[in-house]
Amino acid sequence: MNNKDIAEGYMTGLKNDRYLRALLKQPVDVTPVWMMRQAGRYLPEYRELRAQAGDFMALCTNPELACEVTLQPLRRFELDAAILFSDILTIPDAMGLGLYFEQGEGPKFKHVIASDADVKNLPIPDPELSLTYVMDAVRTIRKNLKGEVPLIGFSGSPWTLATYMVEGGSSKAFTKIKKMMFASPQTLHLLLDKLADSVITYLNAQIAAGAQAVMVFDTWGGVLSPRDYKLFSLQYMEKIVNGLTREYDGQKIPVTLFTKNGGMWLESIAATGCDALGLDWTIDIENAKARVGDSVALQGNMDPSILYASPARIEEEVGTILKGFGHGSGHVFNLGHGIHLDVPPENAGVFVDAVHEQSRQYHK
C-alpha cells in the first residue's frame, strides 16, 4: 500500500480516511487531527448563525442548521474528521427531564432524579422517535460531507449524564450525586444501567444513520476515586463498548473512550475493548503509549490554552507531542479538551497545519 492509496481512502471509499485508519492503527501519510468543540463559539460564523437561530437548542434541534454548524470548521481548516453538532444531554432531555439553558449558567433540568421511583419511571428513548432531530442531523451531515472526511457520532457517558440528572445541572462539588452514590448506591446503579442501555441504543442509531466512528465523553469521571471510577463509570462504559455495532455496511466502526482527568486509569480503560483512548493534557503521551502499548490508539492531547500562544509556540507544542508519540500510526492529534471560545480562529489553523506538516516524518 502506498501513500496514494492512503490519501484516496483505499479502505473506506472516503477521500480522506486518515482518522479511521489511525484509530485502527493502520498506515497513514500524516497524523490526522480534529478538535473537540471544533464547531462552536470561537468561530464568528457560528456566533452569527446562533444569533439567527435564537438559542443553542434551536441549533441542535434543526438538522439543517446542525449540519451547517458541523461543516463550518471544515471550510476553514484541513481537518480530518467532522463531529456531529449536538449536546451530550440529549438523552436525559428525551427521557423527559426538560433540558434548558440559562445565559451564563449552562445546562439545567426542570426535573431531577432523586429516588428509585424517579429512575424506574425513566423511559429508554427510541432515537428515531424522541431524538429524530439528531438522527436527521447525522443523515444530513453525511450527505453534505460527500465523502470528504468521516463523521464522528458521540454521547456522554452514563456517569457524566447522571451527574447532570441528579444535580439538576452543572456542579463543582457533585454533592448530590455523591450522596446518592454512598447513601443509595442501588439507586445510582439502576440509573447508570438504564443510561448505558440508552447510550447503546442511541449510538447504534447514529451508526445506522451514518456515523462512521463514535466517541463516549466521560467528562466527570475524573472526580471519582479509583475504586468508585471502576464501579460507577468504567463498568458502564465497558457495557456500552460491548453493545455497540462495531461493523456497519462492511466497514469497522471505531469507538473512542475519553475520561477527563482519567490518566491514572488508562490500562483499565484500554481493557474495555475500545479502539482508542482520549487523553487530556495532564498526562504525557509518551508515558501513555508506554503503558498501553499497541493495544489501543491514542487521541490527544494538547492543552487547549496553548492556542492563545504565538504561532511559533503552538508549532513547538505540536512537535513535542508528535515526538512523544513517535513513529507509526495509532495517534489522532487533538486538544486535551474542547477549544476555548475566545481562541483566535487563525491560531486553530496554525495548529491543524502544524500537525500535518510536522507529522509526515513519523509516517515514512
- List binding-site positions for substrate: 37-41, 87, 164, 219, 337
Residues that constitute the known binding site: 37-41, 87, 164, 219, 337
The residue annotated as part of the active site, out of 50, 246, 291, 360, is: 50
Question: Is 47 an annotated catalytic residue?
Answer: no
Question: Is 41 an annotated catalytic residue?
Answer: yes
The residue annotated as part of the active site, out of 17, 80, 87, 93, is: 87
The residue annotated as part of the active site, out of 19, 42, 46, 164, is: 164
Torsion sign across C-alpha atoms 351, 353, 356, 358: negative
Find, among 41, 16, 39, the residue nearest to 29 by Cα: 16
Whole-angstrom distance, CA of residue 229 vs CA of residue 243 = 20
CB neighbour class for 160 (10 Å; exposed up to 12, middle 13-18, buried from 19): buried
Question: Is 164 an annotated catalytic residue?
Answer: yes
Whole-angstrom distance, CA of residue 121 vs CA of residue 109 = 16
Inter-residue long-range contacts of 221-224, CB under 8 Å, 24+ positions, other chains counted = 221/157, 221/159, 221/160, 221/259, 221/260, 221/261, 221/262, 222/259, 222/260, 222/261, 222/262, 223/174, 223/261, 224/159
Question: Is 50 an annotated catalytic residue?
Answer: yes
Cβ–Cβ under 8 Å, residues 252 and 274:
no
Question: Is 227 an annotated catalytic residue?
Answer: no
Known catalytic residues? 37, 41, 50, 87, 164
